[in-house]
Chains A and B, each alone.
Chain A
Amino acid sequence: MIQIRGLTKIYNGVPVLNGIDLDIKKGERIAIIGPSGTGKSTLLRCLNFLETPEEGEYVLDGKSIDVRKANAAQIKEMRLRTAFVFQNYALFANKTARENIAEGLITVRGEAKETAFERADEILRDIGLADKTDAYPASLSGGQQQRVGIGRAMASNSELMLVDEPTSALDPEWVDEVLQLLTRVAQAHQTMLIVTHEMAFAKEIADRVLFMEGGRIVEQGPPEKIFTSPDDPRTRSFLRKVL
């Protein structure tokens, strides 16, 4: 569905992504694990053009985008094809839960307000926040905010959901409800790329696990393989520390 070729991102002369190649198939759920500062989040951010990569190519249904020369229309296309779930939720502070979910549908996808709100209400019911439609983010708990953040991504019907450490900013009491919702999203075969430190969750929902270090994909494979008998000593050493 999306192929990434030679993706390179450099910060202040230091390469954070070092020529990443990755093929994402439709319906595939990929978990990215690895130590902090190895470019996991940067990879997601580059796919959504929140960062502009120095080099690389995205191939979408056979159409190629040279990331350095991407024009506004191509950037917008990538953003419409990918939906981002942020670590810190990043809900629009001046919008209610319903408006947060409907905003992109109305402003960017040109849907009528009524249909967008209907869709938003439907999603809020689905994620168990039907009583919070008119609540502003400041009045929601961290877990509720992140669920709305996931709801916003669901509403977009984007092919690829990019989920960046969805529970890292949460108090422990809210982690479960967010992971449960993401598990449901994953079970519906939403194509997704998830950066996470929750190994049990990664094991449960992922078709494929990538281990990244130093801006490279060191090793990848099905979770049974990566979590029980990884080939690379770096993967083994990392998993020993976190499991």
Chain B
Amino acid sequence: MRALDLDYMLGLLPILLKYLPLTLGMASVSMILALILASLFAIIRVVRFPVLDAITRLFISFFRGTPLLVQLFLFYYGLPQLFSFLTAIDGVSAAIIGLTLHFSAYMAESIRAAILGVDRSQWEAAKSIGMSTGQMMRRIILPQAARVAAPTLINYFIDLIKSTSLAFTLGVTELMGAAQKEAAGSFLYFETFIVVAVIYWAVVESLAFVQTQIENRLSKAVSR
């Protein structure tokens, strides 16, 4: 067994960190879009809008039931064959679309469960003072559901950040893609991927810290 090349690892760190913004950017954009979409899906399912509900269920079933990698390939390689205007789709956009749709399906179900978990009396009180369904959702139900759903949603965000590494299979040079290239040049695979792993780990750990802060903030309404 040879010793780890620590100098190489230290030198690699700043090179790879340059790609962190792209990784975090893809993750953040996908997360925001997925949250919006998931809230919409959740409301459609809770209110049971006739046709939309069925479509949403099919959508969720498909995106939960198939691997993310398959979905990414479908968007990047498959769709442009069907629709010629999509031939210009770049890897980053395809990854964001894929991640957004995939995670929105999961998050929709957590948000739906959280909405249904809000006590019936809250819905009735909101209705009784004359609120519309939209006002009730925005001002009373969703804020309370958010508190319940927050830990799960942040876990999905963590998963999403790590899943951006799959974008390298679409030719995107993000953190993982950059590492792959570096390793191919130096042949120091172990060192390279340890550095990558540590970067992901550090990002996720700092997010876990933020998670605690958010949960403390959201729980102020129920704590004495």
**A contact residues vs B (CB 8 Å cutoff):** 48-50, 76, 79-80, 82-84, 86, 88-95, 103-104, 107-108, 136, 138-139, 152, 156
Contacts and interface: CB of A to CB of B under 8 A. Distances in A.
A49 B127 CA distance: 9
Interface of B: 119, 121-122, 124-132, 135, 139-140, 143-144, 147, 220-224
Q: Which residue among A90, A139, A156 has the maximum number of chain B CB atoms within 10 Å of its CB?
A: A90
Contact of B130 (A76, A89, A139): A76
A139 B129 contact: no
Q: Classify the secondary structure of A's interface with B.
A: loop
Contact of B221 (A80, A84, A86, A138): A138
Nearest to A104: B129
A50 B124 contact: yes
Contacts of B140: 92, 94-95
Contacts, number: 72
Given A104-B130, A107-B131, A90 B125 contact: yes
Contacts of A79: 127-130
A108 B125 contact: no
Given A94-B144, A103-B139, A108 B130 contact: yes
Closest 4 A/B residue pairs (Cβ): A104-B129, A90-B125, A90-B121, A79-B130
Contacts of B127: 48-50, 79
Q: Which residue among B130, B139, B221 has the maximum number of chain A CB atoms within 10 Å of its CB?
A: B130
B106 to A, nearest CB: 25
A107 B135 CA distance: 7
Nearest to B146: A94
Contacts of B147: 94
Contacts of B121: 86, 88-90
B144 A80 contact: no
Given A93-B144, A94-B143, A108-B131, A138 B125 contact: no
A48 B139 CA distance: 20
Nearest to A135: B224
Contacts of B132: 76
12 contacts: A83-B129, A86-B121, A92-B125, A93-B221, A94-B143, A94-B221, A104-B131, A107-B139, A108-B129, A108-B131, A108-B135, A138-B224
A92 B126 contact: yes
Nearest to B119: A93
Nearest to A155: B129
A80 B130 contact: yes
Nearest to A92: B140
Nearest to A72: B132
Nearest to B138: A107
Contacts of B119: 93
Contacts of A84: 124-125, 128-129
Contacts of A94: 140, 143-144, 147, 221
Given A84-B128, A86-B125, A138 B222 contact: yes
Nearest to B143: A94
